[in-house]
Structure 1
Amino acid sequence: MVFANTWRLNMRTFFLYIASCIFFVITGCQSEKTVVLEDTQKAEEIIIGGSESVLPVLKQLAEAFESENQGKKILFTAPGHTSAGIKAVVEGIISIAAVSRNLKPEEKQLGFDEYWFAHDALVFAVHPTVNIKGLSLKDIGPIYYGSISGWEKLGGPKHPITVLDRIEGSSPKVLLQEKSVLSKEKKVTQKAVVFERPNDMNIAIASTAYSIGYTSLSLLLKDNYNLNILELDGIKATPETIRNGAYPLVRPIGFVIKGAPAGLAKEFTDYIFSEKGHSVLTKQGYVPSQRQL
């Protein structure tokens, strides 16, 4: 019996390793191979992958859920992107995809149930060497296109601006384009340093003097970065201004499942939208959303 239990444990560990490797390949190389999961809900396990911005808070929720539900496991792949997570769910590689943007029309046709459990602010932050309080939204474009190249033009120190950007198609870049803060038709200055991952962006802002970048407010608060988070049009990103819509750059975060959740996936979904789940979200700096029926 001990041998059998050990064998099953090793097989689960091996299976999760293989799923993570496959998800990594999809994120980086878009492999065409498909691996179909067994029914993880029957095994009291589900596997989650997708947006690197959302996975940290889902892990916090999973830890709280597991502490009250012994024997049930929420497993995670390596972090990636919303698009890769959606593809992995379609191909049966993971159970749930964490998403940090609204679904595209073609994605909505894939039969997903969408669960938007919180809102997060997208903020512009600068290195502490830049002692300005805020910017207007109309200043962002000229900074990123290169027509405003020095901080002194914005009330800051007499020094060139180091522009930090995210890759095209990333969730925060898409939001800025949807809000007409940046344009798809205009090219960002060639001097900009471009990052794929949100954590790389956060580290770069914190370590690069006279830099500006944009990122998740909740991730900044979670990791306690020493940055100057800017007001936009005189409005500071706070739970209240996120909730009432006064802050201009807010995005929903959530997850998608192929079809209605059942078994452990349903239990975890119910937990996220419960008072206990909302308490976890609030502690992590998010503004919880009510479940849409």
Structure 2
Amino acid sequence: MLFIIKMLARFSLVFMLAGLLTLFSACDNKIDSEPVQPATPTEKRILISGSSSVMPLLKSLSHEFLKDNSDIEIVFLPDARSDAGIAGVVEGQYDIGAVSREMFFEEKSDDLQYLHLAIDGMVMATNSGIKIASLSRALIRDIYAGKITNWAQVGGPDGKISVIDRPEYSSAKISFRATFLDDDFKVAADSVPLERHWQVIDSIQMIPFSIGYTSLGEIIRENPKLNIAAVNRISPTPENLKKGRYAFFRPFGLVLKADPKVEIMRFLNFIFSEKGATIISRSGYLPQRYEILVGVVPERNVIVQEQRYQPLINYLSQRLGKGFSVKLKLLPSYLDVCKGLVAGDLAAAFIDSLAYVAVQKHVNVLVRPEFNGKSSYKGLIFTRQDSGIENLSQMRGKHLVMGGGITTAGYLFPNYFFPHEGFGSLADFFSETSVLGTHEDAIMAVYNRSADVGSAKALVFDMVARENPALKDKMNILVQSSPLPSNVFVLRKNLKNSCFECHHRISRDPVDSRTGCFRAGLGGMLKSYLLNIHENPEGREALAAMLNTDRFIEALPSDYTKLTEMLTELNLDPEDLLLVH
């Protein structure tokens, strides 16, 4: 307590601040001293704890949910922090952990899933006596750095600025630092960090010349007497958040086990329903749909690949319903996609067959495309016709470029082919080998004489050649592989049980009578929609954009056994492919 009072003495109004913190401490002690009955998870009981910022919203949602679900008990344990909410789920103490930030890398695992609940706008607030309409990013930085110490320096009244901050571990500070500061930025030594959002609001109201930041949801719900400042002349409103104009916010999320029990799924159904979204909006937050981030690699270039896949992404969003948001994320290489799937940053991806083998422990294969009745492609090894290389032996001592990173045609095929034909390893046979980002990169490197020999996917080679007839005339294909399985659509394994009844009303979908949920889960839904996409007019348009794909066919792990055997013959562990650069 003495430590807190000493910190508050840094403000000009020592006694007022000390009194406020005494009150805060007393309130916290009163809450902590109340006897808490031990709670244990049961089939009909849902235990929730975590971020104190998220808990009021969850209580509002549960209040409405329980009106029609009286057979379920929802128990809110004492508020904690986001990290405690996650740890509680891991240890089995909570069914749902409330978090007000993104999960850190070390917190993610295949046993957990994260659901994006809402966006909480953050606001810069001053005491009501400070009539500052807008603060620039630079001004906010200077105030928190201690470079600007009096409101008179920025056109306000003559008064020393009292800077209220949050602890570094708090989600509010993480968001504040990410938006306005950098990792090395040092906040003024006389600033005072306060633990709870309500402490910040109360302090700013009572301390003249003070400034701080807090939750927009809290401001809308409590309507305190504060001056809310715009940032760079953009007001902190739900509408500006929704349109992406206002950039100071933090995510609200839910962490739960990958295989939640029925009662939790029923509560999630409600949260992500239209009624749940209305409650979230009315509470001052921006409701979020369940986001499915699909990773794609530009086999040629970013613009072409986005045009190729975006219609399919739009189709899946429409079929899954309003509670889902399917988004496309273009990444530089299959290595980046694989790492994103392993880390949980991606929910799904279209990946090369070799990339699938590298991450098969973390994903399920769903479907692969079929072109002209075939779901395969070939790898090529090629040179320029004027290179003087007319056979494989003449490639010795040359520079080989492999296209696409972790790809079957660009990487595995040459690594397997040359030793298998008696030429030894690539390192012994070639003077230099390079792994390039896309198949087109490898093709153009040989065409432009940056390399002597290239390996790439035949489909991409044909596309580039059609657009550039001169290239086709000047290139010489010396080797073609046997057919290789087409790129595959995969889904992370820990997403298979995500389930919301509002998305499963299509009569042909098998539904669980207990929950109203699609029995096969999210993976089953996506697989069903993709396998039947050619029967739908909008689906056929999406297929046409994907290089006139005929349809999708079911993919099975056994389709990739040959690739695993090739890796075994090369004495390569599939997971070691993630180390390829």
TM-score with structure 2 setting the length: 0.43
CA contact (8 A) 2:171 2:250 kept: no
Q: How far apart are 1:16 and its partner, in Å?
A: 6.4
Residue in structure 1 matched with residue 222 of structure 2 by the alignment: 223
**Matched residue type, 1:280:** I
Deviation digits for residues 180-221 of structure 1 (CA, Å, limit 9, x no counterpart): x12332322121111111111111111111100011100121
CA contact (8 A) 1:140 1:182 kept: no
SS of the equivalent of 1:185 reads coil
**Matched residue type, 2:192:** V
Check 1:130–1:110 CA distance in 2 against 1; reply closer, same or farther (3 A cut).
Answer: farther
Q: Distance in 1 between matches of 2:36 and 2:134?
A: 45
Residue in structure 1 matched with residue 89 of structure 2 by the alignment: 89
Q: Over aligned residue pairs, what C-alpha RMSD do you find?
A: 1.5
Q: How far apart are 1:56 and its partner, in Å?
A: 0.2
CA contact (8 A) 1:54 1:100 kept: yes
Q: For residues 178-189 of structure 1, what are the structure 2 equivalents within 5 Å?
A: 178-179=178-179, 181-189=180-188
Residue in structure 2 matched with residue 255 of structure 1 by the alignment: 254
Q: How far apart are 1:110 and its partner, in Å?
A: 5.8
Deviation digits for residues 115-138 of structure 1 (CA, Å, limit 9, x no counterpart): 112111111101101011010011
Residue in structure 2 matched with residue 144 of structure 1 by the alignment: 144
Say yes or no: does 1:212 pair with 2:232.
no
Q: How far apart are 1:154 and its partner, in Å?
A: 1.6
Residue in structure 1 matched with residue 64 of structure 2 by the alignment: 64
Q: For residues 238-249 of structure 1, what are the structure 2 equivalents within 5 Å?
A: 238-249=237-248
Q: Distance in 1 between matches of 2:197 and 2:183?
A: 20
Residue in structure 2 matched with residue 25 of structure 1 by the alignment: none
Q: Distance in 1 between matches of 2:91 and 2:259?
A: 17
CA contact (8 A) 2:110 2:258 kept: no
Deviation digits for residues 210-241 of structure 1 (CA, Å, limit 9, x no counterpart): 10001110012111211111100000011111
Residue in structure 2 matched with residue 175 of structure 1 by the alignment: 175
Check 1:176–1:186 CA distance in 2 against 1; reply closer, same or farther (3 A cut).
Answer: same
Q: Distance in 2 between matches of 1:95 and 1:130?
A: 44
**Matched residue type, 1:161:** I
Residue in structure 1 matched with residue 55 of structure 2 by the alignment: 55
Q: Distance in 1 between matches of 2:68 and 2:83?
A: 32
Residue in structure 2 matched with residue 280 of structure 1 by the alignment: 279
Q: Distance in 2 between matches of 1:148 and 1:287?
A: 33
SS of the equivalent of 1:240 reads helix
Deviation digits for residues 10-69 of structure 1 (CA, Å, limit 9, x no counterpart): xxxxx96225xxxxxxxxxxxxxxxxx44x2x1x11010001110000000000000111
Deviation digits for residues 55-93 of structure 1 (CA, Å, limit 9, x no counterpart): 000000000000111121211011111011111111111
CA contact (8 A) 2:118 2:287 kept: yes
Say yes or no: does 1:18 pair with 2:38.
yes
SS of the equivalent of 1:106 reads helix
Greater CA deviation, 98-107 or 85-94?
85-94
SS of the equivalent of 2:66 reads helix
**Matched residue type, 2:38:** I
Residue in structure 2 matched with residue 125 of structure 1 by the alignment: 125
Q: Distance in 1 between matches of 2:164 and 2:76?
A: 29
Q: For residues 189-200 of structure 1, what are the structure 2 equivalents within 5 Å?
A: 189-200=188-199
Aligned length: 258
Deviation digits for residues 89-124 of structure 1 (CA, Å, limit 9, x no counterpart): 111111111011111011113631111121111111
Contiguous gaps of at least 5 residues in structure 2: 1-34, 293-581
Q: Distance in 1 between matches of 2:266 and 2:83?
A: 25
Q: Distance in 1 between matches of 2:219 and 2:259?
A: 33
Deviation digits for residues 131-150 of structure 1 (CA, Å, limit 9, x no counterpart): 11010011111111111101
Higher Cα Rg: structure 1 or 2? 2
Contiguous gaps of at least 5 residues in structure 1: 1-14, 20-36
**Matched residue type, 2:116:** W
SS of the equivalent of 1:292 reads strand
**Matched residue type, 2:200:** M
Q: Once the two structures are aligned, what percentage of the paired residues are identical? A: 37
Say yes or no: does 1:115 pair with 2:115.
yes
**Matched residue type, 1:120:** D
Q: Distance in 1 between matches of 2:198 and 2:112?
A: 28
